[in-house]
Amino acid sequence: MKKRILLGCLALLILMVATGSAAYAIYRPGFVYRVYIDGEDVGAVASIQGYTNILEDLLNKEEAQVGLNLKFAQEISAQRELQLKPRADEAHVKTALAARVSYSTMGWAIVVNDESLLWTATQEQAQEVLTQVANFFVHDSAKCTLVSTEIVDSVEICPQEVVPEDIWAVDAAVDYILQGREKTETYVVATGDSLWSVSRSVNMSQTDLKKANPSLAKSNVLKTGQVLNLVVAEPKLNVRTVEQVKSYEAISYSTAYRYTGKRWFYQSSTVTKGVSGKKAVIYKVEYANGVETGRRIVNTEVETQPVTKIIEKGTSRWPSAAAGKFRWPLNTGYITDYFGSRRGTHGGVDIGAPTGTPIYAAAAGTVIISQWGPSYGNYVKIDHGNGYATLYAHASARLVKPGQWVSKGQVIAKAGSTGNSTGPHLHFEVQRNGTRINALQFFKP
């Protein structure tokens, strides 16, 4: 009996060993590495080296694409795990990680007034952005000398971790800061446009146009096809520049008058032509973002003195002598208005004289008119032959009759203010072939 029991136990032991050996042969337990991204299981890899290779491949590929040193933004880990039948799929893990992973990099922030404005890849690039912005508003001209340029705002350059998409290239960063905003309305310059005409067309001041278009700080000249921004951008940085500007300016000449009795009072001529002088003026000019905010003169050098213009003016209102066949019709008075001086044509010379002053015939001749008219009032007209005639108007009294012969210097009437007259005077005309001419050409001042 005991022998049977022993044989049975031995058989059972042999069966168990055989069964265990078969199971081990089927399952072969082993270790894998379970991969997690921010706690999410994305699969298993066979070895820690395989896990490392996947991470390096993903990182190297992205760094080659963006040109930056990167690291993973999420927490990625691998944990060793025993499995009866180990199952690892590195391709699946790599695909799952690629779909979920994001990256970060160490950028250099331009911090303006405690607010991060943008980021560059290196500290040197950030400094280059600030340098270009500060120098943008400096005028490139032989007439300008830079005194200083500075960014008014509080600016720092600090390292900060950011996503690669936030890294700016230097040129793009400069444009963004100068423009102030990324989207604006625009205007395309047409042939014949000027800063003034565009400002009126778009209902925008020239000052605001310059603020919206920093390039206009250097030149107001517009080019056909040039695109102008029409939205006044809030500046991302405020730049103050100070320049010394040399300007050549004209010195206005003065005018001096020289008076002579050898000309009639209405006559004048230029004796010396006026010539403007020239001076070199140096200004210290301050600008805010390219817009002038003030200037003061620091030096002036006169290069050419101005030449004073000299005008000789006549003073004579009474002839000193006759220059031809006629005598002066009065022995007193002065010229109050001359030939052609009014709107339209004033056909004679007006000589102021008290009422009753004798009027003399300018030359011998025959009286052809002695009457009253609505414009002339009492007037006398004498024919002197050879196409010449004289007329005397606004008289208070007429002393001759038509057909009467008068001698040169004979009293023919008395001065007054009849007809269209504003005061006592003689309106004296000389006519040639019926056309009124300037009587003063027959007299010397």
Task: For 253-269, give the DSSP string.
Answer: PPEEEEEEEEEETT-EE
User: Is a pLDDT exceeding 90 seen at residue 369?
Assistant: yes
Q: What is the CATH number of the domain that holds 268?
A: 2.20.230.10
Does 436 map to a domain?
Answer: yes
Q: When comparing pLDDT for 15 and 196, which is higher? A: 196
Query: Cα–Cα distance between 402 and 407 in angstroms, integer?
Result: 14
Query: Cα–Cα distance between 261 and 318 in angstroms, integer?
Result: 10
Q: Please report, to the nearest 10 degrees, the dihedral formed by the alpha carbons of residues 184, 189, 193, 198 taken in order.
A: -10
What is the pLDDT averaged over residues 266-271?
A: 89
Q: Are residues 126 and 215 in the same domain?
A: yes
Residue whose token pair is 């002393």: 399
For 228, residues 6+ apart whose C-beta sits below 8 A from its C-beta are 186, 187, 188, 189, 198, 209, 212, 213, 222
Q: Of 229, 263, 292, which residue constitutes the final position of a domain? A: 229
User: Is a pLDDT exceeding 80 seen at residue 90?
Assistant: yes
Residue whose token pair is 């009849």: 418
Does 44 map to a domain?
Answer: yes
What is the pLDDT averaged over residues 234-244?
A: 88
Does 236 map to a domain?
Answer: no
Structure tokens at 207: 């000052």
Q: Are residues 118 and 139 in the same domain?
A: yes
Give the 3-state secondary structure of residue 95. Answer: helix
Does 16 map to a domain?
Answer: no
Percent of the chain with pLDDT over 70: 90
pLDDT at 320: 64
Confidence grade of residue 443 (pLDDT, cut at 50, 70, 90): confident
pLDDT at 322: 55
Does 5 map to a domain?
Answer: no
Least-confidence region, from 42-51, 143-152, 261-270, 411-420 = 261-270
For 310, list phi and psi in degrees, rounded to 5.
Answer: -115, 125
Query: Cα–Cα distance between 41 and 55 in angstroms, integer?
Result: 15
User: Are the C-beta atoms of 349 and 334 separated by less than 8 Å?
Assistant: no
Reported as a single tens digit per residue, the pLDDT across 121-147 is: 999 999 999 999 999 888 887 888 899
Reported as a single tens digit per residue, the pLDDT across 189-198 is: 999 898 888 8
Give the 3-state secondary structure of residue 279. Answer: strand
Q: Are residues 334 and 287 in the same domain?
A: no
Q: Of 61, 76, 101, which residue constitutes the final position of a domain? A: 101
17 CB neighbour count, 10 Å cutoff: 10
Q: Are residues 139 and 204 in the same domain?
A: yes
Reported as a single tens digit per residue, the pLDDT across 379-421 is: 999 999 999 999 999 999 999 999 999 999 999 999 999 999 9
| Domain tally, the chain | 4
Does 18 map to a domain?
Answer: no
Does 406 map to a domain?
Answer: yes
* Reduced 3-state DSSP string for 243-257: EEEEEEEEECCCEEE
User: Are the C-beta atoms of 328 and 349 separated by less than 8 Å?
Assistant: no
Q: Are residues 90 and 40 in the same domain?
A: yes
User: Is a pLDDT exceeding 80 seen at residue 117?
Assistant: yes
What mean pLDDT is reported for the chain? 88
For 246, residues 6+ apart whose C-beta sits below 8 A from its C-beta are 143, 144, 145, 280, 281, 282
Q: Are residues 417 and 326 in the same domain?
A: yes
Range ranked top by mean pLDDT from 6-15, 90-99, 177-186: 90-99
Query: Cα–Cα distance between 234 and 212 in angstroms, integer?
Result: 9
Reported as a single tens digit per residue, the pLDDT across 149-189 is: 999 999 999 999 988 888 999 999 998 888 765 455 789 99
Q: Are residues 277 and 300 in the same domain?
A: yes
Q: What is the CATH number of the domain that holds 412?
A: 2.70.70.10
Q: What is the CATH number of the domain that holds 115?
A: 3.10.350.10
Helix axes 90-100, 48-66, angle to 10 degrees: 40
The C-alpha angle 428, 433, 435, rounded to 5 degrees, equals: 50
Q: Are residues 154 and 270 in the same domain?
A: no
Confidence grade of residue 20 (pLDDT, cut at 50, 70, 90): very low
Q: How far is Cα of residue 268 from the mean position of the Cα atoms in its chain?
A: 43
Q: Are residues 419 and 363 in the same domain?
A: yes
* Total residues belonging to the chain: 445
Q: Are residues 172 and 218 in the same domain?
A: yes
Structure tokens at 46: 């066979």
In 3D space, the residue among 168, 166, 138, 133 whose CA is nearest the CA of residue 151 turns out to be: 133
Give the 3-state secondary structure of residue 364. Answer: coil
Q: Of 185, 204, 229, which residue constitutes the final position of a domain? A: 229
Does 235 map to a domain?
Answer: no
Percent of the chain with pLDDT over 90: 61
Domain that includes residue 343, residue range: 318-444
What is the pLDDT averaged over residues 329-352?
A: 85
Q: Are residues 282 and 388 in the same domain?
A: no
User: Are the C-beta atoms of 430 and 390 separated by less than 8 Å?
Assistant: yes
Q: Are residues 218 and 191 in the same domain?
A: yes
